[in-house]
């Protein structure tokens, strides 16, 4: 079965609205990362977040180990936030197992 499930698969919002992306893991969670994938394909690391809450500008990541889930919150969305957001289980010296991504579209 799929180890990493992301939801929603796609999300369309108006500029200024908040976005909430979810990631659920079917196995125990040692570490995880959130990425933004640019249209050309390159991956930008947003958070390495094995547990707890981390902030970076308008982005907040919260990982709850015992519930095997992580969320990414984007506040006051902008059109430049549009793209694909990926979560992945693992990190460090361990391989990453990716979810299928959330396609985020922010309309002006």
State yes or no: residue 83 binds other proteins (CB under 8 A): no
Segment interacting with other proteins, rule: CB under 8 A, options 51-59, 64-72, 75-83, 96-104: 96-104
Count of residues that bind other proteins according to CB under 8 A: 20
Give the shortest CB-1-to-other proteins separation in angstroms.
15
Residue 86, phi then psi, degrees to nearest 5: -120, 140
Measured between alpha carbons, how far is 38 from 102 in angstroms, rounded to an integer?
A: 13
Measured between alpha carbons, how far is 93 from 53 in angstroms, rounded to an integer?
A: 22
Query: Most distant CA pair in the chain: distance in Å?
Result: 40
Nearer to other proteins, 44 or 64 (CB): 44
State yes or no: residue 42 binds other proteins (CB under 8 A): yes
Measured between alpha carbons, how far is 56 from 66 in angstroms, rounded to an integer?
A: 24
Nearer to other proteins, 45 or 76 (CB): 45
């Amino acid at each position: 079965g799929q180890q990493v499930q992301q939801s929603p698969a796609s999300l369309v919002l108006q500029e200024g609205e908040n976005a909430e992306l979810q990631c659920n893991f079917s196995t125990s969670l040692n570490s995880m990362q959130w990425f933004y994938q640019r249209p050309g394909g390159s991956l930008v690391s947003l958070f390495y977040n094995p547990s707890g809450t981390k902030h970076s500008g308008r982005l907040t990541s919260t990982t709850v180990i015992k519930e095997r889930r992580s969320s990414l919150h984007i506040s006051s969305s902008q059109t430049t936030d549009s793209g694909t957001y990926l979560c992945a289980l693992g990190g460090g010296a361990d391989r990453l197992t990716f979810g299928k991504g959330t396609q985020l579209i922010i309309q002006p």
